[in-house]
Amino acid sequence: MQETLFYKIIETVSQYTEVDQELIMSPKKNQSVTRAKRLTVNLLKQNGYGGTEISLILNIDRKSVYDYERSHESWLDADKSYERAYFACFSALEDLYVGQDLNDDVEKLKIKVRRLEDMYEHIKQLILS
């Protein structure tokens, strides 16, 4: 389910931003691609993906993942089209969870554990740097 989920998230963002999925997962960084990547980063994070996973999926570095996540709230406040696209994607993805069973609950717990492991690695890197 996890692989399917990240493809579904990218597909949804692509649909609402009109940026090709291949561009979202490429190293390109023009304004529309960066905006789509920012949406994708935040939706992936909210669905339990860690920074390292996201950087590999979207072909960006960990710092960009962190920057996109950190600036998300500011973008929601400052850019109404970004806000509309985010909430449209968020609503579309909520439908994925309707009617899920115990296996999906277990999968969500695994995702949370992965997120905690990712945060631990990030903190460890900060301390050791």
The domain ranges of the chain are: 2-128
The whole-number pLDDT of residue 108 equals 76
CATH code at 2-128: 1.10.1750.10
The whole-number pLDDT of residue 115 equals 85
- CA-CA-CA-CA dihedral for 113, 96, 65, 81, to nearest 10: -150
The whole-number pLDDT of residue 12 equals 93
Tens-digit pLDDT profile for the chain (129 aa)?
A: 445 788 899 999 999 999 999 999 999 889 999 999 999 999 999 888 999 999 999 999 999 999 999 999 999 999 999 999 999 999 888 866 654 555 667 777 888 888 888 889 889 989 987
DSSP string across 54-104: HHHHHT--HHHHHHHHHTHHHHHHH-HHHHHHHHHHHHHHHGGGTT--HHH
The whole-number pLDDT of residue 1 equals 41
The whole-number pLDDT of residue 4 equals 75
The DSSP code for 107 is: H
